[in-house]
């Protein structure tokens, strides 16, 4: 073969290889945002910055906001609700960020329409039966069902959990939840989701005290403070402490502690602190957790996203990977996690109402419910916290 023929053959082989790579390159996942209020806009900001995804549709009930956010994110496929959307567009992924009252309909409709991956935010429902219907609809239709913006997905929280499960600190001996009150169905999802992650266990029994008495009479979780004990499926006991009184400038403690034979992991709404061994005075000694660097910091480089949105980015990245690999094992937060957190919350209130009666989980009565705050349940438009068009257009820069 002469040089000219060799070069021609090499060029042809290179072109063929490039063509194969182009064919094999994964296409972008098509994403729809259903409910594009304040939180939905944060989800949209993340999705439009990721190389694996493209925003293709928005469903938003508020007519003015729908037009504004469509222009902001360069999306022309705009719909009033999920029913109108799936008649024209069936995306690969749908993020359901509506008020809680409307989440079930959107999740079930997307699953039945053939959406491959569906995520929702907290709390996913107020009634246990509705949460069951959402989980079952996704399972029956082969859809990946993910949770949303929870600290359980925080990069450092996930790595701390891996160290616990790898046995770095020995056998788990006990756990405690601090500051479980005020909004146990909304914000309380955070505590219960981290507890289950760290311990690798389910809550099998609760015995709870609730205060003040008037909060136990309400349909929603506003102002409800819970103290009690949880027995985990592994036999480990978890003490639950409600919101304590403030003294001077001292802040209430809020978070989850898990202690083991050789150490303790403490999450308090930030990267978990890790303790192993004792110092010279016999106190627990904090060690360097040696967390790996957050791999998606570039996504948070520009407003309106903030450094504190890191766990939203982690949650979405795990969701994308789960859809690509068709495996819920990849999820940092799943729909199942949200359902379990809701069930624990409802069980706590029921136990308190029944005079601290121990209750076994899963609860037999799936009609039990606990509404979140009116803002979470109905949204800002219905509760007097309406978003301005300027904010919806992304012109207001939030502080970190």
What are residue 18's DSSP bridge partners?
none
| Measured CA distances, 367 to 23, 220, 250 (Å) | 50, 15, 40
Q: What pLDDT does 17 receive? A: 43
CA distance 254 to 265: 14
Q: Which residue has the tokens 């290889």?
A: 17
Q: Sorting pLDDT into bands at 50, 70 and 90, what band is 187?
A: confident
Tens-digit pLDDT profile for residues 126-160: 999 999 999 999 999 999 999 999 999 999 999 99
Q: What pLDDT does 395 receive? A: 83
Tens-digit pLDDT profile for residues 61-119: 999 999 999 999 999 999 999 999 999 999 999 999 999 999 999 999 999 999 999 99
The stretch 25-43 carries a mean pLDDT of 94
For residue 338, the Cα-to-chain-centroid distance in whole angstroms is 8
CB 158 within 8 Å of CB 332: yes
The stretch 309-317 carries a mean pLDDT of 98
CA distance 72 to 69: 5
Tens-digit pLDDT profile for residues 338-368: 999 999 999 999 999 999 999 999 999 999 9
Q: What pLDDT does 188 receive? A: 87
Angle, vertex CA 183, rays to CA 180 and CA 189, nearest 5: 70
Q: What pLDDT does 4 receive? A: 46
CA distance 334 to 310: 17
More confident of the two residues 245 and 57: 57
Greatest distance between any 2 Cα atoms in the chain: 93
Contacts of 59 (CB under 8 A, 6+ apart): 32, 33, 34, 35, 36, 78, 79, 80, 81, 82, 84, 85, 106
CA distance 282 to 169: 18
SS3 category, 266: strand
CB 334 within 8 Å of CB 193: no
Q: What percent of the chain is modeled with pLDDT above 70?
A: 91
Q: What pLDDT does 245 receive? A: 60
Taking 50 as the threshold, does the pLDDT of residue 283 lie above it?
yes
Q: What pLDDT does 300 receive? A: 96
CA neighbor of 123 nearest in space, from 382, 370, 387: 370
Q: Considering the domain 155-293+335-373, what is its CATH architecture?
A: 2-Layer Sandwich (3.30)
Q: Sorting pLDDT into bands at 50, 70 and 90, what band is 397?
A: low
The stretch 297-315 carries a mean pLDDT of 96
Q: What pLDDT does 25 receive? A: 61
Q: For the chain, give the mean pLDDT.
A: 92
């Amino acid at each position: 073969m002469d040089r000219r023929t060799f070069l021609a053959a090499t060029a042809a082989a290179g072109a063929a290889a490039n063509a194969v790579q182009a064919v094999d390159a994964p296409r972008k996942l098509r994403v729809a945002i259903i409910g594009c209020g304040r939180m939905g806009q944060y989800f949209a900001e993340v999705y439009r910055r990721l190389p694996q995804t493209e925003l293709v549709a928005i469903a938003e009930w508020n007519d003015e906001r729908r037009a504004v956010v469509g222009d902001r994110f360069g999306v022309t496929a705009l719909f009033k609700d999920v029913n109108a959307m799936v008649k024209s567009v069936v995306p690969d992924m749908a993020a359901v960020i509506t008020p809680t009252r409307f989440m079930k309909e959107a999740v079930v409709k997307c699953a039945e329409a053939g959406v491959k991956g569906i995520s929702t935010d907290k709390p996913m429902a107020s009634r246990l039966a509705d949460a069951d219907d959402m989980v079952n609809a996704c399972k029956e239709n082969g859809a990946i069902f993910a949770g949303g913006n929870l600290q359980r997905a925080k990069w450092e929280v996930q790595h701390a959990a891996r160290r616990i499960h790898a046995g770095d600190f020995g056998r788990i001996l006990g756990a405690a939840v601090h500051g479980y009150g005020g909004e146990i169905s909304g914000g309380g999802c955070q505590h219960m989701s981290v507890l289950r992650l760290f311990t690798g266990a389910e809550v099998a029994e609760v015995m709870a005290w609730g205060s003040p008495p008037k909060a136990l009479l309400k349909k929603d979780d506003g102002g409800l403070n819970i103290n009690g004990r949880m027995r985990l499926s592994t036999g480990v006991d978890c003490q639950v402490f409600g919101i304590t009184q403030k003294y001077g400038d001292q802040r209430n403690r809020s978070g989850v502690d898990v202690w083991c034979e050789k150490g303790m992991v403490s999450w308090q709404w930030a990267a978990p602190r890790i303790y192993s061994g004792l110092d010279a005075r016999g106190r627990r000694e904090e060690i360097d957790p040696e967390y790996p660097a957050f791999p998606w910091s570039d996504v948070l480089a520009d407003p309106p996203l903030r450094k504190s949105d890191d766990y939203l980015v982690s949650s979405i990245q795990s969701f994308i990977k789960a859809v690509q690999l068709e495996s819920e094992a990849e999820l940092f937060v799943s729909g199942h996690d949200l359902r379990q957190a809701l069930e624990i919350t409802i069980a706590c209130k029921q136990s308190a109402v029944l005079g601290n009666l121990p209750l076994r989980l899963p609860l037999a009565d799936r009609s039990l419910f606990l509404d979140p705050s009116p803002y979470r349940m109905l949204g800002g438009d219905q509760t007097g916290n309406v978003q301005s068009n300027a904010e919806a257009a992304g012109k207001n820069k939030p502080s970190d």
